[in-house]
Amino acid sequence: MVTILDKTFGPFLSQAIIEERIGEMAAQINEDYHGKTPIFIVVLNGAFLFASELLKRLDLSCEVSFVRFASYENTQSSGNVREILGLQENLSGRDVVVIEDIVDTGLTMNQLLNQLRPSNPKSLAVATLLHKPEALKAPVSLEYAGFEIENRFVVGYGLDYDGLGRNLNAIYVLQDISSQA
């Protein structure tokens, strides 16, 4: 068990299981991008650990870049608009793979892909460590998804709770209040 601030989290995915799966994902990417020079776009902050474990298993010639989102409330439409910051590279004609920690509702990934498409990449794919299929609200195709998980809150391996827990080397799940009694 791990306690972060006011919450208790229990073991969910061990480091060994996570890294075995990342090895499988890397093997698939090595095969799919053989002979190509893709550019990987890592979404900060959460994807940093997953990205480092994935990228060091690739035997491709590739570039790596990092983006983060600036979130702001749009005054003209309801909802949270997120703009990508930090992307310097020209993606035109490139094979692009976005690396994300988790796709929950899919809204973030959907917005990100919509902002990348006008740059005319040759191909655009997504690699996410975790995916919550039940929570999905926006259509996103996930070419490389590590684990499909239930709609529960998880921390560790890059994922935080209120800024904490990103450095945990495994993934933990929020315990029900009833099980904490």
C-alpha dihedral sign at 39, 85, 80, 120: negative
33 vs 50 by CB, closer to ligand 5GP: 50
Q: Pick from 26, 49, 129, 154 the residue near ligand 5GP by CB under 6 A.
A: 154
Q: Does residue 101 touch ligand 5GP according to CB under 6 A?
A: yes
Catalytic residue list contains 162: no
CB of 90 to ligand 5GP, least distance (A): 25
**Region near ligand 5GP per CB under 6 A, out of 10-18, 57-65, 84-92, 100-108:** 100-108
Catalytic residue among 6, 101, 104, 162: 104
Under the criterion CB under 6 A, does residue 159 sit at the interface with ligand 5GP?
yes
Amino acid letter, 91: L
Site for ligand 5GP, residues 13 to 52, rule: CB under 6 A: 46
- In the list 96, 108, 112, 125, the residue contacting ligand 5GP (rule: CB under 6 A) is 108
> Is residue 107 near ligand 5GP by the rule CB under 6 A?
yes
Q: Tell me which residues in 53-82 interact with ligand 5GP (CB under 6 A).
A: none
DSSP the chain: -EEETTEEEEEEE-HHHHHHHHHHHHHHHHHHTTT---EEEEETTTTHHHHHHHHTT--S--EEEEEEEEEEE-SSSSSEEEEEE---S--TT-EEEEEEEEESSSHHHHHHHHHHGGG--SEEEEEEEEE-GGG--S----SEEEEE--S--EEBTTB-BTTB-TT-SSEEEEPPHHHH-
Residues taking part in catalysis = 104
Residues making contact with ligand 5GP (CB under 6 A): 46, 101-109, 153-155, 159-161
